[in-house]
Amino acid sequence: MWIEFSNFNLKLLILFIFPVFIKIQDEIKPLYLKDNNFYFKTFRYFASYIFAFIPLLIIKCRSKNDNQEIIDKEKKLKEENEELMNKLLPVPTNTFKKREMKKRRYQNIIYIGILCIIGFSCYLYRKFFEKNEYWDAKQTIGVFFEIVDFVGLSYILLSQKLFKHHFIFLGIIALVLLILFIISIPFVNKDYILSSCFYFLFYSLFFGLFDVLGKRYMLKFYQSPYFLMFIIGIINATLFTIYDVFAYFFNRDISGIILGFQNNIKSARDFFIFILDLIIQSIWNHGIWLTIYYFTPCHYFISEYISEYIYFIMTAIEKEGKDELHSTVNVIIFSISDFIIIMCVLFFNEILILNICNLDINTEKRIIERMQLEKEESNRVNILLEMEEENGERDRKTISSCSSN
């Protein structure tokens, strides 16, 4: 077969399910949201992260209940080992060990601090530089820079290996996106073409850095995405709320969270819809971080581009006959191009494997298969060597027995 699926992983369903919640949130927000200012929007985003405490608490309780006896034994054994090591090891070694633990704690705090700053900077960047005119280029040049930045950052910060099949499919994606961007130029505001390129370059760089560094943090400190989300959410939401309280009383022009509550939450119904909105946004954010945690930041392309294509089609339906960019001809062109891009993204992330021109040779599936074959061959050789050694031993015993007779 020219095309085959990689090893099936049920967690791949996350990539295709969580984008649905973006559309659900779009339907919920208008039910209560009348003043979606920058401060209230940013607060809602980080407040939705706090809901990660629910799965975090469930996992911790289940782990504690299921393994309490083991945990108690391990804790006791650890204390005994530490006590013994403190007696046996010289003072400098103990000091070095404590220094290393302290250093690791500081690194943990620094990572969290940087992620909080970058996460907030993403929204700050949008506040000062975002224009509605830029979003016509989101599905073309926006996705192009997103892919380039995510791949580049993953290569630099995560040491993600890139092989021939990665470069080929990445090249096809980039070429198709640039062609689509050129096609869309006559239908967008020409005054914003260049500025939209610079906007999406740094937009994807900020968000890419946030996601890739988040992945690096989870790998380095063995933390779950739930813990990471909860910590970032609680820190940024708390600091932002403290800032807004002072801003509200001293300069309301730079305030928005309290004003957002005043303008949007006017009844119990609005409050419950607000909580529902946070939960839906939290599920969407969970989907992103679980994708990054279980796979790679580059797997996020799949969900992102499917979402962008759905938005393009929905916009075309809403603006039927009113917008040249979303004309029937362009919808057909974009649909064919998007199918090619999505297929290339699946090949790039090795969800699908293309078995031509040796494009499959360095995929994870083939590497694992070669390792298994080498292991089987090694076991077979070891068995043959053992059999030869046993036969040789029997021959020696036979010769020795004959000689004694």
Tell me, yes or no, whether 284 and 338 share the same domain: yes
Tell me, yes or no, whether 288 and 215 share the same domain: yes
Domain boundary among 321, 343, 360: 360
Tell me, yes or no, whether 31 and 128 share the same domain: yes
pLDDT of 394 strictly over 70 = no
52-56, 88-92, 117-121, 321-325: lowest mean pLDDT where? 88-92
Judge whether 319 lies within some domain. yes
The arithmetic mean of pLDDT across residues 364-388, rounded, is: 81
Judge whether 345 lies within some domain. yes
The arithmetic mean of pLDDT across residues 46-75, rounded, is: 75
**What total number of domains does the chain contain?**
2
Write down the pTM of the prediction: 0.83
Structural domain boundaries enclosing 386: 361-391
Residue 71 binned pLDDT confidence (cut-offs 50, 70, 90): very low
102-111, 138-147, 244-253, 395-404: lowest mean pLDDT where? 395-404
Tell me, yes or no, whether 128 and 228 share the same domain: yes
Residue 90 binned pLDDT confidence (cut-offs 50, 70, 90): low
Judge whether 402 lies within some domain. no
Judge whether 27 lies within some domain. yes
Tell me, yes or no, whether 317 and 383 share the same domain: no
Tell me, yes or no, whether 286 and 378 share the same domain: no
Q: What local confidence, expressed as pLDDT, does residue 4 receive?
A: 81
Question: Chain-wide mean pLDDT for the chain?
Answer: 84
Domain boundary among 339, 360, 381: 360
CA distance 352 to 401: 63
Judge whether 215 lies within some domain. yes
Phi, psi values for residue 188, rounded to 5°: -115, 170
pLDDT of 231 strictly over 90 = yes
Q: What is the 3-state secondary structure (H, E, C) of the chain?
A: CCEEECCCCHHHHHHHHCCHHHHHHHHHHHHCCCCCCHHHHHHHHHHHHHHHHHHHHHHHHHHHHHCHHHHHHHHHHHHHHHHHHHHHCCHHHHHHHHHHHHHHHHHHHHHHHHHHHHHHHHHHHHHHHCCHHHHHHHHHHHHHHHHHHHHHHHHHHCCCCCCHHHHHHHHHHHHHHHHHHHHHHHHCCHHHHHHHHHHHHHHHHHHHHHHHHHHHHHHHHCCCHHHHHHHHHHHHHHHHHHHHHHHHHHCHHHCCHHHHHHHHCCCHHHHHHHHHHHHHHHHHHHHHHHHHHHCCHHHHHHHHHHHHHHHHHHHHHHCCCCCHHHCHHHHHHHHHHHHHHHHHHHHHCCCEEECCCCCCCCCHHHHHHHHHHHHHHHHHHHHHHHHHHHHHHHHHHHHHHHHHC
Residue 233 binned pLDDT confidence (cut-offs 50, 70, 90): very high
Judge whether 118 lies within some domain. yes
pLDDT of 274 strictly over 90 = yes
Of all residues in the chain, what percent carry a pLDDT higher than 70? 87
Q: What local confidence, expressed as pLDDT, does residue 245 receive?
A: 93
Please state at what angle helix 53-66 crosses helix 225-250, rounded to 10 degrees.
140
Tell me, yes or no, whether 252 and 385 share the same domain: no
pLDDT of 96 strictly over 70 = no
Tell me, yes or no, whether 220 and 302 share the same domain: yes
Q: What local confidence, expressed as pLDDT, does residue 48 receive?
A: 94
Residue 79 binned pLDDT confidence (cut-offs 50, 70, 90): low
Tell me, yes or no, whether 236 and 382 share the same domain: no
Judge whether 403 lies within some domain. no
Q: 299-353, pLDDT tens digit by residue?
A: 888 888 888 788 778 877 877 766 777 778 888 888 898 889 989 998 998 888 8
Judge whether 404 lies within some domain. no
CA distance 299 to 301: 5
Tell me, yes or no, whether 304 and 378 share the same domain: no
Q: What local confidence, expressed as pLDDT, does residue 236 receive?
A: 95
pLDDT of 152 strictly over 50 = yes
Which residue in the block uniquely carries the two structure tokens 């800032």?
Answer: 243
Measuring CA to CA, which residue among 45, 42, 26, 30 is closest to residue 256? 42
Of all residues in the chain, what percent carry a pLDDT higher than 90? 34
Tell me, yes or no, whether 243 and 381 share the same domain: no
Q: What local confidence, expressed as pLDDT, does residue 134 receive?
A: 86
Tell me, yes or no, whether 298 and 373 share the same domain: no
Residue 175 binned pLDDT confidence (cut-offs 50, 70, 90): very high
